[in-house]
């Protein structure tokens, strides 16, 4: 029967050489191909390969999720540091403006000494005293006497 099929259908030789068997249906009188069942021994390597591929896929997905989470955490930390830097820059500008508004220190010294009559500090004008154990602070008249 194989020889008849080979001659009638040229492509049939490739199909028949594979693990197929030709069956005859008595009711319809038609020929059909039925695939031979492979043994369990042949399916074991494929099952192992499938398990290894599935394990690799799961590991890859978990690693991808871990990396994605790590990137998002770093982005949030970077945004937090940027907000902190902006706040510090604003504080720095405010402090610089405040010091700039004070004016030149030489001008302040000149106004204090000439206009207001203030005198620069000398060692003679500073009075040191030792602190006693009492909780009272004496006034200036008591210290000089």
- 141 belongs to a structural domain: no
pLDDT digits (tens, 9 = 90+) for 98-118: 877 777 778 878 888 888 888
Same domain, 104 and 93: yes
Same domain, 9 and 68: no
pLDDT digits (tens, 9 = 90+) for 52-77: 999 999 999 999 999 999 999 999 99
Same domain, 28 and 81: no
Same domain, 20 and 49: no
- 91 belongs to a structural domain: yes
Q: Count the Cβ atoms, other than its own, within 10 Å of residue 138.
A: 12
Same domain, 48 and 65: yes
Partners of 32 in beta bridges: 23
Q: Please give the mean pLDDT across all residues of the chain.
A: 78
Bridge pairing between strands 31-35 and 20-24: antiparallel
- 19 belongs to a structural domain: yes
Q: Which two tokens stand for residue 11?
A: 């492509």
- 128 belongs to a structural domain: no
Same domain, 28 and 49: no
- 89 belongs to a structural domain: yes
Least confident of 32-46, 72-86, 89-103: 32-46
- 98 belongs to a structural domain: yes
- 22 belongs to a structural domain: yes
In the chain, the number of structural domains is 2
Same domain, 82 and 99: yes
Same domain, 48 and 15: no
d(CA 61, CA 86): 37
34 in Cβ contact with 20 (< 8 Å): yes
Q: Looking at the chain, list the stretches that DSSP marks H as alpha helix, in order from N- to C-terminal side.
A: 2-8, 12-17, 40-102, 105-110, 140-144
Domain span including residue 7: 1-37
Partners of 33 in beta bridges: 22
Same domain, 72 and 93: yes
What is the band of 78 on the pLDDT scale with cuts at 50, 70, 90?
very high
**Residue 41: its pLDDT value, please?**
57
Same domain, 107 and 89: yes
- Looking at per-residue confidence, does 41 or 37 come out higher? 37
- 111 belongs to a structural domain: yes
36 in Cβ contact with 19 (< 8 Å): yes
């Amino acid at each position: 029967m194989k020889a008849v099929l080979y001659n009638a259908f040229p492509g049939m030789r490739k199909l028949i050489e594979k693990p197929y068997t030709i069956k005859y249906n008595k009711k319809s009188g038609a020929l059909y191909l039925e695939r031979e069942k492979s043994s369990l021994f042949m399916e074991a390597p494929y099952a192992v390969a499938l398990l290894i591929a599935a394990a690799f896929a799961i590991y890859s997905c978990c690693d991808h999720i871990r990396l994605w989470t790590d990137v998002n955490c770093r982005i949030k930390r970077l945004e937090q540091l940027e907000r902190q830097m902006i706040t510090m820059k604003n504080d720095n500008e405010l402090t610089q403006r405040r010091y700039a508004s004070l004016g030149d220190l030489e001008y302040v010294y000149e106004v204090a000494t000439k206009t207001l009559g203030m005198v620069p500090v000398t060692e003679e004008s500073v009075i040191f005293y030792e602190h006693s154990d009492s909780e009272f602070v004496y006034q200036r008249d008591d210290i000089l006497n």
